[in-house]
Amino acid sequence: MLDPPATAAAATDEVLLQQVAGGDRRALEQLYDRYEDLTYAIAMRVLRNGADAEDTVVEVFWELWRARERFDARRGRCRTYLTMLARSRAIDRLRRRQARPELHGTAAEAPPPLAEVASPGPAPDQTVRCSETKAEVAAALAGLRTDERAALELSFYAGLTHQEIAQRLDKPLGTVKSHIRRGLMSLRNALGGLQEGGEQ
Amino acid sequence: MMKCAICREQLEEFVLGQCDAETTAVVADHLRICPDCQREADAWADAWATLPDDLPMPAKLPKLRGRVLAALDGPIPGGERAELVRRLAEANAEPTRSATPETTPAPSTRERQWSLALAASVLLALGVGAWWSGHMQRDARRRDLVAEQRAASQLAERLGGLIRAKGATPTTRFDLAPVGQRENGLVHVAWDRAVNQWHVFAVDAPPAPAGSAYCFWFVTAAGEYVATVLEETAPGVMATAATLPAKPSDVRRAVVTLEKLPPGERPRGEALWETAVVGDAQ
Ligand SMILES: [Zn+2]
């Protein structure tokens, strides 16, 4: 019913996070609406199972709400925080599942093509990243070399350590480290403008 | 003291929470005092967080929205985390030294309470990732979260070994069952024989209203009540470590109630969790 015009009137993530820290449920609902698709997509990518992904999202926002007084909302970084939290909770769940291999396959072993993960939907809310940064990030992601991407994804979505990735890919540890660093560096460069000027 | 260059070699893994406990602790200590490295850590975390940008996004999930909002004020979603807390409680209540209680100076109550609170903080520390600890508020009333994190990581590492060693150091422990319609709640009690101390953990309980608290009561063989108040040590987790004038052999029932503070000599609230205790010599 409120339906604010998309850009100017919309509170930034950081303002919403501060309001959440102060106990404002409607701010949490707004953050949820902004990050539902992202947190779900991350959980889905890790877990490959819609029910598990939904459980993960419930857990993530429960934790955001129940630990709200512990956040220093002034320091912001809401998107990074929720991304990391969703990943972390999904990987917890993945590990528990792998401890019961009779129930599920080993999801982290061989990721199926991304296209089968979810039905196509609207892109993430524009307020999450500004459009220039989004384009830069998209270009950097598209420009990752295959070996860089493989190492990054095993680390991020399967929760493997560098050492484990080296074993998995049968490559020297140093090579894996440099793939990860190079890949991350290009992603970091894509964000450069945001970090210099943006979110303070 | 860790040098910046060494710290920075670890940061990409550190922000994902994938360093070993020792590295995590040393890096976290360094970040507390080095804003430059903290900024580096933030930048790596932000870079990792771009990876999901090219995931296919789902259509809106209206049912999920309802579930998420309905769950906010409820117990910890997912019984398995409750199980984690219970196991940590057990491990933490386990005497950690092999010497006999008579010849070993007992750790002070404060130390034991400290370590108990740390066990509960594992809930947060294990999952959220070391990176975020740099973004937590630090006011005078809060414990040092980095120290918590270090101890929590160490505790988690010790868990496996402690549980294996369980048979060697008998400690009484039991669970209280929820009374009536309550579901999922769990109260776990362990007696640390080495220091004559009771550890009580309650998970999945809704927060106590202002001015009230959950109270844990023993009913002794003589029909007397002894009580201790549970404090919230992490979201959804209440705990206490108390030296009560009761040994397992003296105890007949254990009950948790919700009481207005301060609690009286006998419970006034209805029993929320309860169990009979079979008197046990050790
Ligand atoms: Zn430094």
Q: Which of A119-133, B52-66, B220-234 has the lowest mean pLDDT?
A: A119-133
Chain B neighbours among A 118-157 (CB < 8 Å)? 118-124, 129, 134, 137-138, 140-142, 152-153, 155-157
Give me the pLDDT at residue B176, please: 77
- How confident is the model over A184-190, as a mean pLDDT? 93
Q: Mark which of A81, A99, A117 sits at the end of a domain.
A: A99
> Is A198 part of a structural domain of the chain?
no
At B99-154, the pLDDT tens digits run 233 333 344 444 334 343 344 344 333 434 455 555 554 332 233 333 333 433 34
Same domain, B193 and B247: yes
Q: Tell me: pLDDT of B239 over 80.
A: no
User: Count of domains in chain A?
Assistant: 2
Q: What does the block give as tokens for B199?
A: 């550890």
> Is B218 part of a structural domain of the chain?
yes
- How confident is the model over B237-259, as a mean pLDDT? 81
Q: Mark which of A99, A121, A141 sits at the end of a domain.
A: A99
Confidence of residue B18 (pLDDT cuts 50, 70, 90): confident
Q: Residue A119 — left, alpha, or beta (φ > 0 → left; ψ -120 to 50 → alpha)?
A: beta
CA nearest A40 in B: which residue? B58
Confidence of residue B32 (pLDDT cuts 50, 70, 90): confident
Chain B neighbours among A 50-79 (CB < 8 Å)? 54-55, 57-59, 61-63, 65-67, 69-72, 75, 77, 79
Asked if B30 contacts B11 with a C-beta cutoff of 8 angstroms, the reply is no
Give me the pLDDT at residue A177, please: 94
Write the burial class of residue A101 (CB in 10 Å: 0-12 exposed, 13-18 middle, 19+ buried): exposed
Q: Are the Cβ atoms of A121 and B67 closer than 8 angstroms?
A: no
What ipTM goes with this model? 0.82
CA-closest candidate to residue A106, choices A94, A93, A91: A94
What distance in Å separates residue A127's CA from the closest CA in chain B? 14
> Is B58 part of a structural domain of the chain?
no
Give me the pLDDT at residue A100, please: 54
Give me the pLDDT at residue A149, please: 95
- How confident is the model over B59-64, as a mean pLDDT? 86
Q: Which of A28-42, A86-100, B189-203 has the lowest mean pLDDT?
A: B189-203
Same domain, B99 and B138: yes
- How confident is the model over A36-41, as a mean pLDDT? 96
Give me the pLDDT at residue B80, please: 54
Cα B31 to ligand 1 centroid, rounded to whole Å:
7
> Is A44 part of a structural domain of the chain?
yes
Q: Mark which of B52, B69, B87 sits at the end of a domain.
A: B52
Same domain, A143 and A71: no
Same domain, B28 and B118: no
Q: Tell me: pLDDT of B20 over 60.
A: yes
One DSSP character per residue, chain B reads ---HHHHHHHHHHHTTT-S-HHHHHHHHHHHHH-HHHHHHHHHHHHHHTTGGGGSPPPPP-HHHHHHHHHHTTSSPSSHHHHHHHHHHHHHHHS----S-TTTSPPPPHHHHHHHHHHHHHHHHHHHH-GGGGGGB---TTS--HHHHHHHHHHHHHHHHHHHHGGGGS---EEEEEEPTT--S-EEEEEEEGGGTEEEEEEESPPPPPTTEEEEEEEEETTS-EEEEE-EEEETTEEEEEE--S--GGGEEEEEEEEEESSP-SS--SPEEEEEE------
Give me the pLDDT at residue B111, please: 39
Same domain, A92 and A145: no
What is the rounded CA–CA span in Å between residue B169 and residue B30?
A: 38
Chain A neighbours among B 169-228 (CB < 8 Å)? none
Higher pLDDT, B76 or A83: A83
Give me the pLDDT at residue B278, please: 66
Q: How far is CA A12 from CA A15, A61, A129, B15, B265, in A?
A: 5, 18, 11, 24, 52
Give me the pLDDT at residue A22, please: 87
> Is B67 part of a structural domain of the chain?
no
User: Count of domains in chain B?
Assistant: 2
- How confident is the model over B50-77, as a mean pLDDT? 86
At B167-202, the pLDDT tens digits run 323 356 677 777 765 555 667 777 666 666 777 777
Give me the pLDDT at residue A76, please: 55
Q: Tell me: pLDDT of A75 over 50.
A: yes
Bond before B178 cis per omega within 30 degrees: no
Q: Tell me: pLDDT of A96 over 70.
A: yes
Write the burial class of residue B36 (CB in 10 Å: 0-12 exposed, 13-18 middle, 19+ buried): exposed
To the nearest whole number, what is the mean pLDDT of chain A? 78
Q: Tell me: pLDDT of A150 over 90.
A: yes
- How confident is the model over B244-249, as a mean pLDDT? 78
> Is B72 part of a structural domain of the chain?
no
> Is A104 part of a structural domain of the chain?
no
Asked if B129 contacts B15 with a C-beta cutoff of 8 angstroms, the reply is yes
- How confident is the model over A17-41, as a mean pLDDT? 93
Interface test with B, best of A187, A189, A191, A195 (most B CBs within 10 A): A187
For the sheet with B186-192, list strands across it. B225-229, B212-220, B251-260, B271-276, B173-178, B186-192, B197-203, B237-242, B231-234
Give me the pLDDT at residue B147, please: 38
> Is B64 part of a structural domain of the chain?
no
Q: Are the Cβ atoms of B58 and A37 closer than 8 angstroms?
A: yes
At A114-132, the pLDDT tens digits run 333 333 333 344 345 677 8
- Cβ-based contacts under 8 A for chains A and B: 192
Radius of gyration of chain A (CA): 18
Give the percent of chain B with pLDDT over 90.
15
Give me the pLDDT at residue B132, please: 56
CA torsion through residues B128, B129, B135, B139, sign: positive
Give me the pLDDT at residue A83, please: 94
Q: Are the Cβ atoms of B54 and A162 closer than 8 angstroms?
A: no
To the nearest whole number, what is the mean pLDDT of chain B? 68
Residue-range definition of the domain harbouring residue A137? 129-192
- How confident is the model over B204-232, as a mean pLDDT? 85
CA atoms within 13 A on the CB side of B143: 17
Residue-range definition of the domain harbouring residue B43? 4-52
Q: Tell me: pLDDT of A58 over 80.
A: yes
B138 Cβ contact partners less than 8 Å away, ≥ 6 residues apart: B144, B145
Radius of gyration of chain B (CA): 21
Q: Tell me: pLDDT of B62 over 90.
A: no
Asked if B228 contacts B242 with a C-beta cutoff of 8 angstroms, the reply is yes
Give me the pLDDT at residue A143, please: 94
Q: How far is CA A88 from CA A71, B41, B73, in A?
A: 17, 17, 22
Q: Is B131 on the interface with A (CB under 8 A)?
A: yes
B29 Cβ contact partners less than 8 Å away, ≥ 6 residues apart: B2, B146, B150
Task: Give the CATH number for residue A95.
Answer: 1.10.1740.10
Q: Which of B62-76, B95-109, B198-212, B267-281 has the lowest mean pLDDT?
A: B95-109
Give me the pLDDT at residue B29, please: 84
Same domain, B202 and B160: yes
Cα B32 to ligand 1 centroid, rounded to whole Å:
9
Higher pLDDT, B43 or B148: B43
Asked if B125 contacts B149 with a C-beta cutoff of 8 angstroms, the reply is yes
Give me the pLDDT at residue A15, please: 87
Give me the pLDDT at residue A106, please: 37
> Is A124 part of a structural domain of the chain?
no
